[in-house]
Amino acid sequence: MENKIEFSDDIKRFKHFTKIDDNTWYVQCNKDSVCESYYVTVLVNAIVMYGDYDGVIVKPNSTSGREELINWMVNATSLNYFCEKVFNGNQYHKCKEFSSKVAKESILDMIMDKFDLSKEMKDIIKKADNFTDIRDDLINRLSLEIGCHPENVERDFPDDYEKFEEIVIELLDTSFYHDFDYFEFCENHDFYDFSEYPYEEYTSRIRLQHQCLLWWANMVNKNE
């Protein structure tokens, strides 16, 4: 597993490490302030983080002991892999949340798949604010993909062109504030396989917790 990681300047601000006991560290940005700080405790078979950035338990499979757990954390650079082990240690921990950006991207992919269109078509729609501004570009691109004159695109489109246009217009006009909006849009337009496409992203909280624990593990591994 790749163990190289570039830490942001915000993470590098956590430069004060106080060893509470053999298994617990207190990490601070400012030595004279309790703000922006967190604790890390290594248990027999898990790592626990708690403090200003909420609590999280990370429990790797078949990994135990202080040194082994610290070394494991040093190498747990994949957020997806890290979250798998978070689920091992917590009955519930929110790692993902609905993302309108991811949802729109997935709907674009579904449109391309449904009408068998190219990435170039997707890029034209993705950059648009409204349909009117891109209609000519879409028609010209479709004429190349279908192999017909732009004036004949609507006639020669291998599927229902009006349906295609309707979906694109609605996509550009819709704000996806909740996962319900995404589900409703997909169901209204017969995207029955929408559950196979992503509509969530990792929360900023789990990303920060992951970075904090990676930073802690790397610093402990380096200095002890």
Q: Are residues 180 and 218 in the same domain?
A: no
Parent domain of 170? 98-201
Q: Are residues 162 and 145 in the same domain?
A: yes
- State residue 224's pLDDT score: 72
Q: Are residues 121 and 185 in the same domain?
A: yes
Q: What single-letter DSSP state applies at residue 196?
A: G
- State residue 37's pLDDT score: 95
Q: Tens of pLDDT along the chain (224 residues)?
A: 345 678 999 999 999 999 999 999 999 999 999 999 999 999 999 999 999 999 999 999 877 889 999 999 999 999 999 999 999 988 789 999 999 999 999 999 999 999 999 999 999 999 998 999 999 999 999 999 999 999 999 999 999 999 999 999 999 999 999 999 999 999 999 998 888 999 999 999 999 999 999 999 999 988 87
Contact 118, 112 (CB under 8 A): yes
- State residue 63's pLDDT score: 79
Structural domains in the chain (count): 2
**Domain-embedded: residue 4:** no
> Nearest-CA neighbor of 103 among 165, 186, 167, 163?
186
> Nearest-CA neighbor of 4 among 65, 75, 60?
75
- State residue 91's pLDDT score: 79
